[in-house]
Amino acid sequence: MRKMIALALLVFLFVPLLGACSPEDIGYLEMSLAANAIKKADMEASFVIDMNGAEYAGELPFQKLKLNVAGQVDTSKPADPYCLLNLSVSLDSAPSQAMGRLMMTGNKIYSDTAYIKSIFDLAANYSELDEIEAASLAKLFQELEGKDYWISLMPDPAAGDAYDAYGAYGANYPSQFMDVYMQTMTSAITLYQDPAFLQSVKDFYVNGFSGLDSQVVKKIDDGYQISVDAAALKDLLIRTLDYTAAHLDQVLDGYAGLFDQMVSLQPFTGLEQESAAMVKEYLKDPDFRKELKEGLTEIVAQLKESGLAEEWAGKIQGSEFNMDLTKKDKGYANNYDIKAVYEGKPIVNIAMTSTVKAVDSISRLAAPQNVITMAEFIKRQEKIAYAMNPVSAAVITWENYDPAGFNYADITLIKEAGVDWDWDALTIEGGVAYLPVAAVCSMFGEDYAWDSAAGQLYLVRDAKVAVEHKADPYDGLLLPLRELRKLGYSVAYSPETEDTKAYVVITRDGQTPYDPAGLEDIVKIGMQELDEEYLSAW
């Protein structure tokens, strides 16, 4: 176990660092830290991704994407960061088009409706939306037009927002995740603005890697340049690992000082005291250092003797990474490009140019007042889509349920115009089948409300109807399917037999829009289409 931890620490700490401390290496490090430490800045950036032909031809709706970002950033208050960014995009040879704005203020992140609309417009232009999705989104954006709405990209647990834009999460999980994200961001801001921490980073490289020259950094006018190809990267990796194995105590002593500085900035780093104490104990433990050195020496020997490093470098021959960082007009300019090649085939080219210019002051916009969450946006779109093509019945099937594992249900949706298929997380407890309430309401165009103070879930149509529920830390608020009967649905269960899976048939308002004799065929077709869809995605 200790050896596993040693190797994990090795990979996490040293391989990505590729530490070195020639005058050029340290000069680049100092300039990079200074650029990150600017508190108030105007910024511009352009990001280009070019799929570069053959390898991914036909798999994406575009060959080349260029994203432009311009705005202001204020990190002078680490616990209250602010930025307002304007975005535009162009695909292939099309002219650039405005996308909208993103804002971060305090611990909230918003986009204006123009930004969300531009995302869906791009999807529609490349046939990524079906007719109903496109029409329902168009109607929703028409309803929101002229009302200066902003979309909150943060969940709101107090409003029962247990289902956000990216899937079914726990009742509190999205907020916990975003809390961690924001805490990590404020941690990084705090660290980069702390002179003692910045000095400890420099000391780590100077003291830990004295005598090691990366040989990939060179001084240029007003800055530094890094150029690495496959052979240089292989050489740098092996030399860094070799050096670390030969000077392990020196490297670990340097990292221990850096780690102490990070811990001293609690709570911004998010490091729990118990975990920090354990890491510090390992860093000082002679047995741990011995195991780490053994593991490192073994890795270096295998890389050299097996020819694995040469083989790996040969596979990516032709790949390159080039970057320059220079001082420019009260700030810094950073340009990089990556050319990825594998086994002689071009994969992707990525390029970015960015500038940050220090400014004396920034006028912050007030936090938006007309706000809806992304979850509410999706709910409204789904209700419009449902009205255009309502679901009259859902057939939910499963097999081989494992109480201790991840389980999912295949869902066949029988609509007025055609049949659709989906899947979602399934829970069975005490003979009762549960699905995430947001998924169930989405199926039938219903709504739900969550009273966090009372811990009560409601289904909402003309009025609130209290229903049973259970909360899952990952799948959120779960609804027993039988509770749909309180809104007049027919819910019938058929147990698993030797010939058929278990299934639940839910029909709206007692309708029976399918031929029971053909039910199994409908389900089989749906499962086959789902399997083909997910296999092609992988």
User: Considering the domain boundaries, does residue 34 fall inside one?
Assistant: yes
User: Considering the domain boundaries, does residue 472 fall inside one?
Assistant: yes
Domain with 473 in it? 389-537
Q: Are residues 90 and 27 in the same domain?
A: no
Orientation angle between helical segments 131-144 and 113-125, nearest 10 degrees: 160
Residue 531: pLDDT over 50? no
Q: Are residues 460 and 480 in the same domain?
A: yes
Q: Is residue 79 very low, low, confident or very high in pLDDT (cuts 50, 70, 90)?
A: confident
Q: Are residues 524 and 478 in the same domain?
A: yes
User: Considering the domain boundaries, does residue 123 fall inside one?
Assistant: yes
Q: Are residues 246 and 276 in the same domain?
A: yes
Q: Are residues 208 and 296 in the same domain?
A: yes
Q: Which of 338, 372, 406 is the last residue of a domain?
A: 372
The answer to whether residues 262 and 197 touch, using CB atoms and an 8 Å cutoff, is: yes
Q: Are residues 312 and 399 in the same domain?
A: no
Q: Is residue 321 very low, low, confident or very high in pLDDT (cuts 50, 70, 90)?
A: very high
Q: Are residues 209 and 297 in the same domain?
A: yes
User: Considering the domain boundaries, does residue 328 fall inside one?
Assistant: no
Cβ neighbors of 174 (< 8 A, separation 6 or more) are: 154, 155, 157, 161, 162, 164
User: Considering the domain boundaries, does residue 341 fall inside one?
Assistant: no
Q: Are residues 49 and 134 in the same domain?
A: yes
**Rounded distance between C-alpha atoms, residue 263 and residue 281, angstroms:** 14
Q: Are residues 208 and 234 in the same domain?
A: yes
The number of folded domains in the chain is: 3
The one-character DSSP state at 391 is E
The answer to whether residues 509 and 468 touch, using CB atoms and an 8 Å cutoff, is: no
Q: Are residues 395 and 300 in the same domain?
A: no
Q: Collapsing DSSP states into helix, strand and coil, what is residue 225? A: strand
Predicted structure pTM score? 0.74
**Rounded distance between C-alpha atoms, residue 139 and residue 10, angstroms:** 54
- What is the average pLDDT across 403-430? 83
User: Considering the domain boundaries, does residue 71 fall inside one?
Assistant: yes
User: Considering the domain boundaries, does residue 216 fall inside one?
Assistant: yes
Q: Are residues 317 and 220 in the same domain?
A: yes
Q: What is the pLDDT of residues 262-300, one digit of tens each?
A: 777 665 555 566 777 788 888 888 888 888 888 888 888
Write down how long the chain is: 538
- According to the model, what pLDDT value does residue 484 have? 93
Q: Is residue 534 very low, low, confident or very high in pLDDT (cuts 50, 70, 90)?
A: very low
- Copy the structure tokens of residue 346: 């071009």
**Rounded distance between C-alpha atoms, residue 339 and residue 406, angstroms:** 39
The one-character DSSP state at 324 is E
Cβ neighbors of 21 (< 8 A, separation 6 or more) are: 205, 206, 209, 210, 211, 212, 213
Q: What is the pLDDT of residues 501-511, one digit of tens each?
A: 778 888 876 55
Q: How far apart are the first and last CA of the chain?
A: 33
**Rounded distance between C-alpha atoms, residue 473 and residue 475, angstroms:** 6
pLDDT, averaged across the chain = 79
- What is the average pLDDT across 105-132? 83
Cβ neighbors of 462 (< 8 A, separation 6 or more) are: none
Q: Are residues 254 and 279 in the same domain?
A: yes
Q: What would the 3-class secondary structure string for 10-36 be?
A: HHHHCCCCCCCCCHHHHHHHHHHHHHH
Residue 236: pLDDT over 80? yes
Q: Is residue 31 very low, low, confident or very high in pLDDT (cuts 50, 70, 90)?
A: very high
User: Considering the domain boundaries, does residue 116 fall inside one?
Assistant: yes
